[in-house]
Homo-oligomer: A and B are copies of this chain.
Amino acid sequence: MSEPRPPAVQHDHKTDVPAAERFAARTAGMTASEIRALFAVASRPEVVSLAGGMPNLAALPLDALSAEVADLVAREGQTALQYGSAQGIPLLREQICEVMAEEGIRADPDDVVVTVGSQMALDLVTRIMCDPGDVVLAEGPSYVGALGSFAAYQARVVHVAMDEHGLIPDVLRHTLRTLAAEDIVPKFLYTIPNFHNPAGVTLSVERRAEVLEICASHGVAVVEDNPYGLLGFSGVRYPALRSMDRDVIYLGSFSKTFASGLRVGWALVPPAVRDRLVLAAESATLCPPSFNQMLVSRYLAGHDWRAQIKTFTEAYRERRDAMLAALETYLPEGCSWNVPDGGFYVWLTVPEGVDTKAMLPRAVTARVAYASGTGFYADGLGSRQLRLSYCYPPPERITEGVRRLARVLEAELDVVRTFGSSARPALRPGPQAPSPHTP
């Protein structure tokens, strides 16, 4: 443990900062999500929000779940309402192994740690792995919630570029060599191989083996975040990185395949990592809610969860198709986007000169919201990109939303043609903190 740093303390004291506001250095990296700054407006019913990553729960069998949860409290209330173990309920950890088997993972329930959503698993993995200044590799762009956790632990994010087949191995190799020249070995590569948030792309099978080899040869751990893997539209299941390498730290979640409001996720980790992760989890929340774990366990045991995922996926495919059709129909020249084969997101690049962050307030005024690209980079890139989510609104609303966005883009382009850029004073700067509206 390092020594107290008197100067800082003395300084705070002398400058009469209120006692409760002598914050830790790490808070400097925490800044508000511009999505949240706009949320009050963006959440008005007349606004079509293509910004959020809220799953569509309309297809959930609420009556059956209502009966299930009533029975849980009536029969097992004394356990469900009581503290449990920090690692999570053994039966649920066994069932989680069955879920992971869908993507080729063979795991021991002893190596599973249940967390309050996979966000908590990601936050705690960063806690036990990263000292301030440590380097973490992440795709560019990357999940805003991951960037928030990395910032909270003062890790330095180095992005690795993607193309339509996901993370580019040659770029990864080059990045690691460049860092090695500075004697820097990143603590881990954080990657979302399936239906990437926000880029929407999927890492090809050939590249999966290559990425694992490159990281292994450089002594870099791999953290695989896979909330969308079971939500593929083509029916193809890609092998999880963890199914190819037992040293991979794997993060999973029920937020997109069952119910995000229960906040049940997990980490599958090597034993040495597990022991520290459990201790970190005890510091963080003592234990995950027994009630939520037992409900998820009953759902997995008593309901056809695979059929439910199929139902969800069909709804998402229909929405994706609506969005792609609308983009083709309405968007002006010079826009480009990917065609996601699963998950929730389309990553859109707008014409030269348009600044998506500066455009956002005008889009919301035009009653459409999106997530601007800069929030998904730790290094300020992304001003020509934005993320569109097709997961939540019904197809006709998606179409209308894209139509409105197209009009806003046309107006921006008029400004660009006149002034060369559409940028105006932006909203609050800095990396976005994660927001429930952009999971």
Contacts and interface: CB of A to CB of B under 8 A. Distances in A.
A47 interface: no
A113 to B, nearest CB: 14
Contacts of A153: 24
Given A117-B286, A133-B5, A262-B289, A22 B187 contact: yes
A289 B292 contact: yes
Given A2-B154, A81-B259, A133-B4, A434 B282 contact: yes
Interface in A388-430: none
Contacts of A29: 1
Interface stretch (A91-99, A124-132, A359-367): A124-132
Contact of A81 (B78, B133, B221, B261): B261
A183 interface: yes
B287 A263 contact: yes
Given A19-B215, A19-B219, A286 B439 contact: yes
Interface in A1-53: 1-10, 12-13, 16, 18-33
Interface string A49-82: 0000011011010110111011101100111111
A85 to B, nearest CB: 6
A63 B72 CA distance: 11
Interface in A269-286: 269-270, 272-273, 275-276, 279-280, 282-286
A254 to B, nearest CB: 10
B436 A287 contact: yes
Interface residues of A, number: 121
Contacts of A284: 119-120, 123, 284
A258 to B, nearest CB: 8
Contacts of A24: 127-131, 134, 153
Contacts of A83: 54, 255, 260-261, 436-437, 439
A343 interface: no
Interface stretch (A144-152, A228-236, A307-315, A326-334): A144-152
B272 A290 contact: no
Contacts of A27: 128, 276, 279-280
A200 interface: no
Contact of A269 (B12, B20, B131, B135): B20
Interface in A287-344: 287-292
B134 A283 contact: no
Contacts of A270: 18, 20-21
Given A19-B222, A22-B129, A123-B285, 10 more contacts: A1-B28, A20-B188, A23-B276, A24-B153, A66-B74, A82-B260, A117-B285, A127-B152, A279-B433, A291-B292
10 contacts: A3-B133, A19-B215, A25-B131, A27-B276, A27-B279, A67-B70, A83-B260, A119-B286, A263-B285, A291-B292
Interface of A: 1-10, 12-13, 16, 18-33, 54-55, 57-58, 60, 62-63, 65-67, 69-71, 73-74, 77-86, 116-117, 119-120, 123, 127-135, 145, 148-149, 151-154, 156, 182-185, 187-188, 215-216, 219-222, 247, 249, 255, 259-263, 269-270, 272-273, 275-276, 279-280, 282-292, 433-437, 439
